[in-house]
Amino acid sequence: MLTLYRLPIALLLLLVTQFTQPGMAQLPAAATHRLQVHFSPKANWINDPNGMVYYKGTYHLFFQYHPNSTQWGPMHWGHATSSDLVNWKEASIALYPDSLGTIFSGSAVADINNTSGFGKDGQVPLVAIFTHHNAALEKTTNTFQNQSIAYSLDEGKTWVKYANNPVVVNPGITDFRDPKVSWYEAGKKWIMTLATLDRITFYSSPDLKNWQRESEFGQNAGAHGGVWECPDLFSMEQDGKIVWVLLVSINPGGPNKGSATQYFIGDFDGKTFTAAHTDTRWVDYGTDNYAGITWSNTGDQKIFIGWMSNWLYAGDLPTTTWKGAMTLPRELALQRVGREVMLTSRPVPQLTLLQGKAVTHRAVKVSSHLDFTKKLGALQLPCRVKIEGIAVKDFALVFSNPLGEALVIGYEKATNQYYIDRSKSGKVAFNKSFPGRQAAPRLALNDVIDLDLVIDVSSVELFADKGLSVMTAVYFPNQTYNKLSLRSPLPVTMDKITYTPLKAAPVK
């Protein structure tokens, strides 16, 4: 492994420069843990995805960003764009701190009908809605977070903050943030879904400037192990009916400790959200998917992305010039399981643009241990591994390297759980909360398991049973994994296993 701190400063700067320039030599993935098919900024700190809007063939991804450090600090809105959700180009910083505060999380919309009046000469304004966080006031009052807006008339390249900010003034709530705004066609109005301490408050507006409070939800619903954050409200169709979905992130209080995102299925009448269930449900059971929301202006398709980290250890991750990344973009859907309707998520179809030549084996039998690299060849990361038609029995997939480090992903029948174990995955001692095993319930009711795994050089995303059970985890091996094997205490047969290498898509 290349040890960066032992390099002369001049050489280190040269290597870092080469790594961040498209088309030039890159540092070995094992040395930097630099993700190859996920978005992360070329340098410095990133957390929540913000302001995601699709307009004129371009997906805009804004994000919480500290341009001067690899640690959390005064927040800006970074900006990246893509035409296909897998190849990203980093743009200039969109929103900077000002006299009202730093720029916390929020959303963006295409104001097609120019309800805001910001549009000129037929140009549709993109409007960002965000939280101003005034750290100076935080010491003396609990009204230091307020909601503000900005607009762009050049398709997101530059932004102008509204002169009369803030547009929603804090009524006296300590945690009052993360506005997600969408158009409610039935009422011809905008709806703001806002996190307010331990619940969600809904506001409405005809013009994005003047807002009135509508209702609250959640004081006695869902998980409450920590503060509610980064909500999202949208409708989907299921069995010919409109169903509403509310996403709410929570920190701490996730199913495997730390931060995570829950969801509610229910109904929204333009004023009040009513949940159809009382149990707590999670978008992703892994430790590393937080603050996720969906793109606006994508029609019936709901595309989700989250921050691939956890507040328990986000600042301690063993990366050098950058800290944090996004999950793969995921397509959300609804699926009926027994009498319940549940949310599913799977990688967007565009991921196939990065896929190389697939290797498939059918009717694979495993008695106790099988080295798949003898069938598939040496493992190359990033890759995608699909297993179809394996019986509901104990089994484990083991990704490993010559150092004896391993990431173990499997299913345990006694508990009816999927799991990811990164106890011996490589660097684990940087934070006591990082190593260990995390689990997710198997929600499917059939007797055959399907797995879809996307493995990058330092992350794994597990989509089981067509996205009913989902887990995301980061890991940091000292040498890239090059071997894949399967263990099972009882003989097990899978209908098919497909290994597909993925081409790197460096951020430009």
Residues 195 and 57 in one domain: yes
pLDDT band at 378, cuts 50/70/90?
A: confident
Asked if 91 and 123 count as a contact pair (C-beta separation under 8 A), the reply is no
Residues 298 and 325 in one domain: yes
pLDDT of 11 reads 33
Tens of pLDDT along 349-369?
999 999 999 999 999 999 899
Tens of pLDDT along 36-67?
999 999 999 999 999 999 999 999 999 999 99
To the query of whether residue 48 is one of the catalytic residues in this protein, the response is yes
Query: Across all residues in the chain, what is the average pLDDT?
Result: 93
Asked if residue 228 is part of any domain, the answer here is: yes
CATH code for position 271: 2.115.10.20
Asked if residue 157 is part of any domain, the answer here is: yes
Residues 329 and 367 in one domain: no
**Catalytically annotated residue among 48, 111, 421, 465:** 48
Boundary (domain end) residue, out of 313, 347, 381:
347
CATH code for position 468: 2.60.120.560
Asked if residue 507 is part of any domain, the answer here is: no
* Joined tokens for residue 160: 């102008």
pLDDT band at 106, cuts 50/70/90?
A: very high
Asked if residue 430 is part of any domain, the answer here is: yes
Residues 335 and 380 in one domain: no
3-state SS of 379-412? CCCCEEEEEEEEECCCEEEEEECCCCCEEEEEEE
Tally of domains in the chain? 3
Q: Is the pLDDT of residue 185 over 80?
A: yes
Tens of pLDDT along 137-184?
998 999 999 999 999 999 999 999 999 999 999 999 999 999 999 999
pLDDT of 416 reads 98
Q: Is the pLDDT of residue 3 over 60?
A: no
Residues 93 and 225 in one domain: yes
Residues 360 and 489 in one domain: yes
SS3 376: helix
Residues 113 and 3 in one domain: no
Boundary (domain end) residue, out of 306, 326, 347:
347
If one compares 383 and 20, the residue with the highest pLDDT of the two is 383
CA–CA separation, 493 vs 361, rounded Å? 12
Residues 81 and 218 in one domain: yes
Asked if residue 359 is part of any domain, the answer here is: yes
Q: Name the amino acid, one letter, at 389.
A: G
Residues 49 and 172 in one domain: yes
Boundary (domain end) residue, out of 293, 320, 347:
347
Residues 315 and 178 in one domain: yes
Asked if residue 508 is part of any domain, the answer here is: no
Residues 181 and 224 in one domain: yes
| Long-range contacts of 304-307, Cβ-Cβ distance < 8 Å, separation of 24 or more | 304/329, 304/330, 304/331, 304/332, 304/345, 305/49, 305/52, 305/61, 305/329, 305/330, 306/49, 306/261, 306/472, 307/46, 307/47, 307/48, 307/49, 307/63, 307/64
What's the pTM?
Answer: 0.93
Q: Is the pLDDT of residue 236 over 80?
A: yes
Residues 249 and 122 in one domain: yes
CA–CA separation, 401 vs 85, rounded Å? 30
Asked if residue 95 is part of any domain, the answer here is: yes
First to last CA, the chain: 26
pLDDT of 22 reads 31
Buried b (16+ CB within 10 A) or exposed e, 377-397: eebebbbbbbbbebbebebbb
N residues, the chain: 508
Asked if residue 129 is part of any domain, the answer here is: yes
Compute CA 146 distance to the chain's CA centroid, rounded to the nearest angstrom: 25
Give me the domain span that covers residue 246.
Answer: 43-347
